[in-house]
Structure 1
Amino acid sequence: MTNLLKTLLLAATLAAAACDRSAPEAEEAAPEAPRNLLYGIDADLYRTQTAEIAPGETLGGILGRQGVTAATVDRLDRAAREEFPLRNIRAGHRYTLFIHEDSLNTPHLDYLAYECNTTDYVVFGFHDDSVSIRRDAKPSTVRRMKKSAVISSSLWGAIMRENLPYALAAELEEIYQWSISFFDIQKGDSFTVVYDERFVDDSVSVGIDRIWGAKFSQGDKHTYAIPFRQGGKIQYWEADGKSLRKQMLKAPLKYSRISSKFSYARLHPVHKVYRPHTGVDFAAPKGTPVHAVADGVVIFKGWGGGGGNTLKIKHANNMQTGYLHLSGFAKGIAQGSRVQQGQLIGYVGSTGTSTGPHLDYRVWKGGKPINPLKIPSEPSEPISEENRALFDYVRDRIVAEIDGEVKPEERITQLDSLTLPAAAGTH
């Protein structure tokens, strides 16, 4: 072998070895993923400024102060009309500017991120002569929570006192609206609820997701709410498998108080004489929505003398309900029209003989007036026999979590396609 050939072979060997050594180094030198992402942008590459939209301020004005030309603002306005019209910008909402500086230290705006609410945002981008619009949401985490409270005045008052999410009040009223009269709860009543709460930035609550179970206690009576899927939808059931949904709602409106109860000898507030008042008065602001307590047919809509604007609905089982002193009727409500349970039918008012806005709610069975607060109401279809074992399995774990503590792996975490574990057995 000639010296030239030996030299060439040695050079090739050294080159191959060098390539083998350089490969890991090249991998190690690969750029790391951005660690300081803000609205999906690598904030380490920019100088950022955060502020709030001032009253009367426009996005065009903000951009103009950052050197964005009027032509570019117009281009952005036209490009954003479908995704997020610029006129939707609202005072008090936060925005963040992403600014880079060139070699002459001249600032240039690359992005403006605007927060639509606590979770959703839109990013406007400026790249030479082009613009871009991107809508997205902040990443969030979900935590399983269990909270209890004792009522001193109202459900809403207890939730505010304990700094619980306000949405819990609406959710609990929705779940228990057939079974518990929240106008008649007493001091000392209590509740425990297990729910998912969603957070952004690990600390800012942005609402609640599923209610995994609840218990409402009134004296020695405990009414559980167990979520379970039957008939293609998730509903809430009592611990014995009866549906919390009843044929009639406990009340036709929310967020009010009882100002006068059912009586055959009530002192009339206007005429100052004792006379029967075979209904319940719910004091509420004018315009408060009124809903049908059950499916039925409107048999009267019109002026009811002292009752003012009045609506009467006929229901199954020879039941009839009346709604008096309405300020107006809901759109589409007419004599002969069918209504569904929970449907909007009118609004609280003070028409007729009335000293202030309220709803006079009345119920008749077989033509005889009965106390609306003591209506016997049959539940909807209960848990079916074929679902009974699976329901019992879900109920036992939900009740155990409400009344005590369970390990995370023993919690019910999904209700879709749920099957009974082989080890669970049947009851």
Structure 2
Amino acid sequence: MNRFLAFCLLVFALSSCGGPERTAEPSQTETAFSTLEKKSPQIDEYGIVTDSLVSLKKNVKRHETLADILTNYDVPYIKIVEMAKLPSEVFDERRIKAGSNYALYLSNDSAKSVRYFIYQKTPIDYIVFNLSDSLLGVTQGQKPIVSKTRTITGTIEASLYETLIEQGASPMLALKLADVFAWQIDFYGIQKGDYFKAIFEEQFIDDESIGVGEISAAYFYHNGKDYYAFDFDDGKRRAYYDEEGNSLQKQFLRAPLHFSRISSHYSRSRFHPVLRIYRPHLGIDYAAPTGTPVRSVGDGVVVEKRWSKGGGRTLKIRHNSNYQSGYLHLSGYAKGIVKGARVKQGQVIGYVGSTGLSTGPHLDFRFWKHGRLTNYLQMEFPPTHPVNPEKKGDFMNLMAGYKSQLDKLEPSSNDVAIAASTLEDKREF
């Protein structure tokens, strides 16, 4: 019995330590995932699988054509002709511009044949030519735009435009701010010490800024008054409103030009620089370079388009039964501006010039109320539609959040770079 027990113990000992350790076999699922990880294709920004390709990214040289680019890489001429014959709205090879980006994808072998050619039409839009097969493949695409919320503040030294440029901001931001407050502020009359704050969207592609998006909220201190603007869509229209929900848009713009200066005010007795006599000047002169776009201050119909000895090229617009506006000394008219044409508020109708009795380029702007010339700068116009009452609560909540952010921003001095902070990123495409 003792011998049998000893034998069993010996067998147990040998079986537990005598052989090599076994490891668990990988499951079929684990093997499948491992294979997928190894074979995951590399796809680039244009959607091209680049695993077996060599990519070259370049810029179009001055005077370089589509044929110049592709023949350097032995693309068959018949393919180039096919590309050139595409409808112009898809691809116009005559519009290939110096400096534009393009990419070539070559086979990773001794032949180095071109499989794909990509032309970047704009920073956003591109077109892909598949040259791999006998039939030409063409697809269009867009790079994703990422919007980043920014803030900026500034104190006026000379003009809004110059203040923003000194801070490194986009010139488009000046134009957009001027548009937001176009009904409240005459930007020819802003003063040193006025200041502004804004929350806006800056747009990026591949981490490179491509421009300014919408202004979400803004504040402007001018002539002792506070002006707020909040972007809101109430289901009927998207517009800018003040902190009470009143639309900033009024029946007429404060001025017919974006940026300039008033060189002569409305006056009952002004010395005429050409005639050398004193006589009434029942308009407002805006000095601006020749060719500066002139905007209609309101919706209306062109009732006069003519030449006059004093006013040179002249336009007159009837806005309704009460109001008319006039634009004198124009260098030319915008396309489509003829007698009887309907125009919208803010639409470009002509360009600053010095035609007629004039000593230099400027716009002589006139305004009639009930048929009588009146001082436009002294007129007050009621706002248009307020926020939809059904959405007033939503607006007040949004406004309170933005107003709190604006009020916390301190006006910056102009020796400081753009005061911008990213609040959020969001993709638009």
Quick one: percent identity of the two aligned structures? 39
Tell which deviates more after alignment, 215-224 or 329-338.
329-338
Contact 2:175 2:258 (C-alpha < 8 Å) held by counterparts: no
> Once the two structures are superposed, what CA deviation does each residue of 1:307-354 show, in whole Å capped at 9, x if it has no partner?
122223344473332211123444555556554433443332222101
3-state SS in 1 of match to 2:113: strand
1:64 counterpart residue number: 71
Are 2:243 and 1:239 aligned? Answer: yes
- Write the distance in 1 (CA, Å) between the matches of 2:101 and 2:344: 42
Contact 1:193 1:214 (C-alpha < 8 Å) held by counterparts: yes
Are 2:356 and 1:356 aligned? Answer: no
Contact 2:330 2:355 (C-alpha < 8 Å) held by counterparts: yes
1:385 to 1:82, Cα distance in 2 relative to 1, 3 A: closer
2:261 counterpart residue number: 257
Offset, 1:195: 1.5
Which structure is richer in relative contact order (CA contacts within 8 A, separation 6 or more)?
A: 2
The structure number with the bigger radius of gyration is 2
RMSD: 2.9
One-letter code of the match for 2:250?
K
3-state SS in 2 of match to 1:37: coil
Are 2:187 and 1:165 aligned? Answer: no
2:191 counterpart residue number: 186
1:45 to 1:167, Cα distance in 2 relative to 1, 3 A: farther
2:125 counterpart residue number: 120
1:82 to 1:252, Cα distance in 2 relative to 1, 3 A: closer
1:27 counterpart residue number: 33
> Once the two structures are superposed, what CA deviation does each residue of 1:64-115 show, in whole Å capped at 9, x if it has no partner?
110112122223333575632322311111222222232xx23222222222
Contact 1:83 1:133 (C-alpha < 8 Å) held by counterparts: no
1:271 to 1:140, Cα distance in 2 relative to 1, 3 A: same
Contact 1:76 1:132 (C-alpha < 8 Å) held by counterparts: no
Instruction: Choose the corresponding residue for 2:229, options 225, 230, 235.
Output: 225
Offset, 1:197: 1.7
Offset, 1:44: 5.1
Contact 2:190 2:223 (C-alpha < 8 Å) held by counterparts: no
1:317 to 1:148, Cα distance in 2 relative to 1, 3 A: farther
3-state SS in 2 of match to 1:306: coil
Contact 1:119 1:206 (C-alpha < 8 Å) held by counterparts: no
Are 2:296 and 1:292 aligned? Answer: yes
Are 2:102 and 1:86 aligned? Answer: no
Offset, 1:381: 2.6
1:195 counterpart residue number: 200
- Write the distance in 2 (CA, Å) between the matches of 1:136 and 1:279: 51
Instruction: Choose the corresponding residue for 2:153, options 128, 136, 148.
Output: 148
One-letter code of the match for 2:97?
R
1:6 counterpart residue number: none
Instruction: Choose the corresponding residue for 2:349, options 345, 351, 364.
Output: 345
> Once the two structures are superposed, what CA deviation does each residue of 1:96-136 show, in whole Å capped at 9, x if it has no partner?
2222232xx23222222222122222222211433322221
- Write the distance in 2 (CA, Å) between the matches of 1:260 and 1:45: 70
Q: How does 1:315-326 map to 2 (within 5 A)?
A: 315-316=319-320, 318-326=322-330
- Write the distance in 2 (CA, Å) between the matches of 1:81 and 1:242: 46
2:15 counterpart residue number: none
1:195 to 1:19, Cα distance in 2 relative to 1, 3 A: same
TM-score by length of 1: 0.82
Gaps of 5+ in 1: 1-17, 414-427
Offset, 1:286: 3.1
